[in-house]
Amino acid sequence: MAEPITRDQELHELLLYLGSALTAAGEAVNVIQEHLLRVATAYGAPLARISVFPTFLMLSLEPGRPVTQEPTRQLGGGLRLDQTAALYQLLRSAERGEVDPADGARRVLELVAMRPRFGPVVRVLGHAILTVGICMILMPTGGDLLVAGFFGVLVGVFKLAGARWQNLQMLMPVIAAFTVASISFLLAGSGWIDADLRAMVAPLATFLPGAMLTMAVVELSAYEMVTGASRLVAGIMQLLLLTFGLIGAAQAIGVPPPEVGPAGAPHGIGWWAPWVGTLVVGLGNYLMLAGPPRSLGWLCLVLLAGWTGQYLGNQLLGGYLSGFVGAVVLTVVAYLVERLPHGPPALVSFLPGFWLLVPGALTLIGMTEYLGQDSIRGSEDLTAAVASMLAVALGVLCGHPVYRAVEHGLRRVL
């Protein structure tokens, strides 16, 4: 006869599942540990010991008691925006001790298996819109936008296929990069289009590990060495896979990787393109990642605030510090929005902002040039990208205390 499940066992399961889901959502491990400790304290286990790692987490409710280990990969891949919002709603209730532990663990599994709010056609359209928005930020021509939109649909279909067949997920960056680059080089060789990395990089931006690399630096700064280093290696590996696809296409088709023209070239569509592109990126994220209801406006607001901060930082302090200022503004606004009655969790509006702030596209262009013909220019681009990534990570770190100061001031005023 099986022994009845105790209250401690139910709490164990709730903490393990919450930690796994938060890891899948992309939260930093030091923040996950703080959330789980608050949940454990709410249920009478303030001395719980919790360690979160990239693929598993370890938990003991009291010092000296047996330790439970849970693989995080059993919950599947990354979470969509609607899943992340539902997870944080459950987490807030658990931190107040308002959820039965057994029911909370069941609800975590339900939200992980939750069907997307939008169907596959809408999500593919969202990826195309997101691609056009990112391309607008890169100051393209009108032709670049058309090509980027076509590639956005193609890569959106690839991503749906990768989500359906797990074995293809690791290969999908190479497949997508090789396909997009091959078509670009063939069209450029026939004279149909001008070969431009803007139209090629934009549809691949959703594979770029900007958030992963920045979170890695954040975790290393918090002395989470194992997780930070693992995330950093995984992000670099994904970037290399994308680059391999681009260079492989260039070798197979016989066309060298094209060079990027000046950011403010006269033939661009206009100075307004990045500002409108920021809002288009917000819409694309909302459709592609199934944003929760009533979150589109908040998402666009946070992205626009981050881009404005980066623009002003560039005007006042220069390019290297622009990412720092943008990350501080993005972090503060995201957490302020979270405090509002209908505001989404900060992570929902925060992570899409990395595609604006982290120069993942610049990194990919730099590695393509470095492995192609222009090694000097590629090295310069890579150096600039690494410096900007560090600036963004420091901005995220500084954004938290700035938010706390702003929140304290608002409480005193209100």
Q: Is the dihedral of CA 400, 405, 410, 411 positive or negative?
A: positive
Report DSSP letters for 228-287, one per residue: HHHHHHHHHHHHHHHHHHHHHHHHHHT-PPPPP--TT-TTSS-TTHHHHHHHHHHHHHHH
Q: For residue 270, report the phi and psi dihedrals to the nearest 5 degrees.
A: 145, 160
Per-residue model confidence as pLDDT tens digits over 47-72: 888 888 878 888 888 887 778 777 77
Residue 87 has pLDDT above 60, yes or no: yes
Longest dimension (CA), the chain: 78
Which of 195, 205, 196, 190 lies closest to 129, judged by CA? 205
Per-residue pLDDT band at 2 (split at 50, 70, 90): very low
For 161-228, give the DSSP string.
Answer: HHHH-GGGTTTHHHHHHHHHHHHHHHHHHTTSS---HHHHHHHHGGG--HHHHHHHHHHHHTT-HHHH
Beta carbons of 208 and 367 less than 8 angstroms apart: no
More confident residue, 81 or 320: 81
Rounded CA-CA distance 330/328 in Å is 6
Residues 6+ apart with CB under 8 A from 363: 208, 239, 381, 382, 385, 386, 389
Residue ranges of the domains in the chain?
7-112, 120-413
Among the residue ranges 79-93, 104-118, 215-229, the one predicted with the least confidence is 215-229
- Look at residue 363 in the predicted model and tell me its pLDDT: 52
Both tokens of 332, joined, read: 């503060």
In this predicted structure, what is the pLDDT of residue 255? 61
pLDDT of residue 166: 67
pLDDT of residue 380: 60
Cα(139)–Cα(317) distance, rounded to whole angstroms?
Answer: 21
Per-residue confidence at 132, pLDDT binned at 50, 70, 90?
very high
Per-residue confidence band for 304, with pLDDT thresholds at 50, 70 and 90: very high
Q: What per-residue confidence (pLDDT) applies to 258?
A: 46
pLDDT of residue 1: 39
Backbone angles phi, psi at 58, to 5 degrees: -120, 140
Q: What percent of the chain is predicted at pLDDT more than 90?
A: 25
Q: In the structure, how many helices (H) and strands (E) does the chain have?
A: 17, 3
pLDDT in tens, 172-230: 889 998 998 888 888 776 666 654 566 777 888 778 777 777 778 778 877 888 888 88
Q: How high is the mean pLDDT of the chain?
A: 81
CA distance 15 to 42: 12
Residue 316 tokens read as 């006042």
Mean predicted confidence (pLDDT) in 236-241:
84
Going from the C-alpha of 229 to that of each of 37, 72, 100, 214, 225, the distances in angstroms are 24, 17, 36, 11, 6
Q: Which residues of 194-222 are buried (b: 16+ CB within 10 A; e: fewer)?
A: bbbbbbbbbbbbbbbbbbbbbbbbbbbbb
